[in-house]
Amino acid sequence: IAALVFYSCIFIIGLFVNATALWVFSCTTKKRTTVTIYMMNVALLDLIFIMSLPFRMFYYARGEWPFGEYFCHILGALTVFYPSIALWLFAFISADRYMAIVQPKYAKELKNTGKAVLTCVGIWIMTLMTTVPLLLLYE
């Protein structure tokens, strides 16, 4: 029962916080920066993961998985996908901040939001490609 209470709190708080963050970064920010683009991706990733929690809660409450084997594989792959892509996004945020502080003369070139969008697309594609085999192998 403790896991259900914990997952319920995480679901409610996480849904609210990440939906708000995604709205703030995408709709209210006047000037997009590389960091806002990375943070929009982090919020979107968190929302995707948080949406899997009700299924996990149902499983823990009932002790059975009624959603089918393939959906079980999807959630298993998501368990690997989520931290993988989160680490890549945080690494790029850290590199962006590092360059802004340590190499400010080069930071302006790196502040290209188009490059940040391409980087995020590349991260999502690369991580999806490495996670998709788990859909076939995960038991």
Q: pLDDT digits over 73-122, tens only?
A: 889 889 999 999 999 999 999 998 888 888 888 777 777 899 999 999 99
Q: What per-residue confidence (pLDDT) applies to 139?
A: 56
Q: How far apart are CA 131 and CA 139, in angstroms?
A: 14
| DSSP per-residue string spanning 91-113 | HHHHHHHHHHHH-HHHHHHHT-H
Which has the closest alpha carbon to 25: 38, 40, 14, 9? 40
Q: What per-residue confidence (pLDDT) applies to 109?
A: 74
Q: pLDDT digits over 25-47, tens only?
A: 999 888 888 999 999 999 999 99
Q: Does the pLDDT at position 138 exceed 70?
A: no
Which has the closest alpha carbon to 56: 44, 71, 45, 42? 71
Q: Are 59 and 96 spatial neighbours (Cβ–Cβ below 8 Å)?
A: no
Could you tell me the domains of the chain? 2-137 (1.20.1070.10)
Q: What per-residue confidence (pLDDT) applies to 99?
A: 86
